[in-house]
């Protein structure tokens, strides 16, 4: 996942299933790139939320194949 602006220490990236359950929670570390480890995730559609400490939230869906 590549963000347009670096993620700060207070920012979060959440990977959720379509029922809204958080499956992965990552924190910003000054980089624009966040690696979401697929691990044991089955194929399907997931939601990603980028939550900025400054307030804005971005949401989108991804497909894991």
Given this model, what pLDDT does residue 18 score?
A: 93
The first and second tokens of residue 64, run together, are 């894991």
Say whether pLDDT at 12 is over 90.
yes
Count other C-beta atoms under 10 Å from residue 39's C-beta.
Answer: 7
Higher pLDDT, 46 or 6: 46
pTM of the model: 0.84
Given this model, what pLDDT does residue 44 score?
A: 95
| Residues in Cβ contact with 44 at an 8 Å cutoff, skipping those fewer than 6 apart | 18, 63, 64
Given this model, what pLDDT does residue 32 score?
A: 86
pLDDT digits (tens, 9 = 90+) for 23-61: 999 998 888 888 888 888 899 999 999 999 988 899 999
Name the residue ranges covered by the structural domains of the chain.
12-64
Evaluate whether 48 touches 13 at the Cβ level (below 8 Å): yes
């Amino acid at each position: 996942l590549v963000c347009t602006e670096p993620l700060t220490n207070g920012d979060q990236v959440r990977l959720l299933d379509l029922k809204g359950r958080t499956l992965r929670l990552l924190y910003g570390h000054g980089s624009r790139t966040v690696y979401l480890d697929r691990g044991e995730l089955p194929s399907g559609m997931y939601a990603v939320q980028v939550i900025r400490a400054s307030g804005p939230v971005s949401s989108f869906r991804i497909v894991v194949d």
